[in-house]
Amino acid sequence: MFPKDAAPLHGVRVLDASRVLAGPFCGMLLADLGADVIKLERPTSPDETRTWGPPFHDDYAAYFLSCNRSKQAITLDLGQPEGRTVFDRLVAQSDVLLHNFLPPSASKLGLTPTRLHDLNPRLVIGAISGYGQTGPWAERPGYDFALQAESGLMSITGPVDGPPFKVGVAISDILAGLYTALSATACLHARQQSGHGYTCDIALFDCSLAAQVNVVQAYLTGGQVPKRQGNAHLQIVPYQLFATADSHLVLAIGNDAQWQRFCRAVERHDLADEAHYRTNPSRVRHRAELIPEVAAILRGRRTSEWEQVLKAADIPHAAVLDYAQLFELDQTAARGMKVTVRDPEGKPVDLVGSPFKIAGATLPTPRMPPRVGADTDRILGELLGYTAEQLADLRSRGVI
């Protein structure tokens, strides 16, 4: 019987054998939803992101803190036969396995879907890679920056007359983590009826391409390679960043009624009456004439003044905030998007909060990301029955 008000993934065990960002981010999302997530690292070469700094909190890199909250950690050398034996036993006791090994490495380690499902027929596998398990690029390692370039994402990002830009965060990794989490939870639901496991083949390349939604679809529909729009929108006008008298402001006019209200609010009835500007398709076609007019208007007042005018007229807009301003907002606090946890020494550590808010479920309280192998003895003892003597032997041989 599922406990009343339990977290959605209560009772689900995830073995997270991934590293860096896409897989660990996925594992963290599953932990946020109540799964019991065990992070697996090699004893001699743990997750690289533990060293990706500064900044650090003691020996915790901020990068590692960002994608490993609420997990437990074990060390295990899959390169040794004894390590693979322990791993196989963990797989048999898990609901989900996450890994980001390239196909040749996965095969060498025995992480093929066929073998894994022989060990656990109900296992849901999240296999994350740069280019997927099939295709001519399947064996190529995948790096977020390269994937942003190859997926077309950089071709549409950046200034109109400047070079292609990457997104300011490793968005290809984040997208792959999100798609993997969605796939895994869908498969957990499906196996309740089917009774069998699934393999989710998630590629950063595919996710980055699919996430370009309307822009890539515009190419498929119209056959024209889109040019970079900078901080403008390919299909909506005016919907972009504008300079004000003292800073910058996003104006996000998404329909014709909002356009009319904007024109009245800024006392430019001539723009409201101009036939070329009455509908969005026409404004898109006449972008080159209209945008300088709007830009000249917005340069006339400070951002704070425009915020009052636009709010009164119910016009979508936003000031551009930095992180210091962001974490001073009452909205950020009200949504719990900064949480304070305690490190093993009891010192407070601020982390980014989880975006999940689910009525009818009690989500777990966020916990500090684990130190390397912090839970190895407890997990292998409680879950697999290893004795203290057996664990000491495995440790002496570098297996754990």
Computed from CA positions of residues 209, 211, 213, 218, in that sequence, does the dihedral angle turn out positive or negative?
Answer: negative
Count CB neighbours of 106 within 10 A: 20
Distance separating alpha carbons of residues 22 and 200, to the nearest angstrom: 14
Can you spell out the DSSP letters for 293-314?
A: HHHHHHTTS-HHHHHHHHHHTT
Q: What's the CA gap between 283 and 237, in Å, rounded?
A: 6
The length of the chain is 400
Catalogue the active-site residues. Answer: 173
* Alpha carbon distance 244, 250 (integer Å): 10
C-beta atoms surrounding 85 within 10 Å: 12
Residue labelled with tokens 């650090």: 56
DSSP-derived 3-state class of residue 122: coil
Q: What is the CA radius of gyration of the chain?
A: 25
For 281, the enclosing helix (H) or strand (E) is helix 280-285
